Structure 1
């Protein structure tokens, strides 16, 4: 319990200093399973800047640690965050973007075993979080996606799929992502 409270408190504090993240639905967080697989330095990097770029996360080099899949955050640490969705359901997202970096972004369903996209992106932005704008468009921080009607039997088991928010700041050359664990019911 103390470790979980520490991770949650530290991640909340780090989020205030971060570049951008998804605040709803709940995204995967680092924890003990991630530390075991990716190393304490990877967890510490996320706790220091919870939504900083993937390029700032240094893993221990273990084959099982994939920083480019949910920042290395493991399903084992996030089983209590699994969402249930139905085909056609509209899912509202909320994002914080305190430091914008213009570039493309999308939300896609990812097969976690292969780290590949299932189907088409649920939403795409050719230009997202443009730091040259005085005010970001409202759909950069509040947008909705519709769950696909048919995933071919995929995503029925928790941990099998995530909805991944992916954003690449082209001038900053920085990659951001968050993952939402879900099952289709």
Structure 2
């Protein structure tokens, strides 16, 4: 009976997923994320790396380990650079970067890929790529007709970043998706320098 419950729990964790960047390596949780956002938030993310942001603020508010001045759940789901320093990508202005996204449960909505200043949580310039509507439409997904450019695409590192992204941890490439019907936000970030 116990093994059946564990199997059901594992299945539930698998089907609850939604989406995240799979390549290049995105930010993941670790000790710094736990210290900033609390162990409840990190446990939730570790339990489902593709989970949405909604619900995390409530978990954080109940956790004595949450430090709102250090943890911005609306930037990379609160995942911290310090846990991901070994995964920083070095790109040059004008370089094309191929990004792959894993979609496990679709929710039609809008999405974009942008360079985000991590100090201010603001997009630098214009989004590198955007889907104003129709992103991850469940009707296409379940009919195996999801457009290929929604799960694998190229972005070009802008020429005009100047020194804004010269230091590791200053900027991320953030994939952001909002499922309109589900009212859920998904974020995944790549640390990089340029």
Q: Same fold (TM over 0.5)?
A: yes
Partner of 1:129: 136
What SS does structure 2 have at the residue aligned with 1:54?
coil
TM-fit CA distance, 1:56: 3.2
Give distance in 2, aligned partners of 1:180 and 1:122: 14
Partner of 1:174: 184
Runs of at least 4 residues of structure 1 off by over 6 A? none
Partner of 1:98: 104
Aligned residues: 171
Give distance in 1, aligned partners of 2:163 and 2:138: 40
RMSD after superposition = 1.3
CA distance change for structure 1 residues 15 and 177 in 2, over 3 Å: closer, same or farther?
farther
What SS does structure 1 have at the residue aligned with 2:127?
strand
Residues 27, 178 of structure 1: 8 Å contact kept: yes
1:149 aligns with one of 131, 142, 159: 159
Write out per-residue CA displacement over residues 86-144 of structure 1, whole angstroms, 9 at most, x where no aligned residue: 01100001111111111110000000001111001000012210002222111111111
Runs of 5+ consecutive residues of structure 1 not aligned to the other structure: 1-13
Highest Rg: 1 or 2? 2
Partner of 2:37: 38
What SS does structure 1 have at the residue aligned with 2:77?
helix
Structure 1 residue 74 and structure 2 residue 74: aligned?
no
Give distance in 2, aligned partners of 1:151 and 1:47: 33
Partner of 2:8: none
Runs of 5+ consecutive residues of structure 2 not aligned to the other structure: 1-12
Give distance in 1, aligned partners of 2:126 and 2:149: 19
TM-fit CA distance, 1:16: 7.2
User: Normalising by structure 1, what TM-score?
Assistant: 0.89
What SS does structure 2 have at the residue aligned with 1:119?
coil
Give distance in 2, aligned partners of 1:54 and 1:100: 15
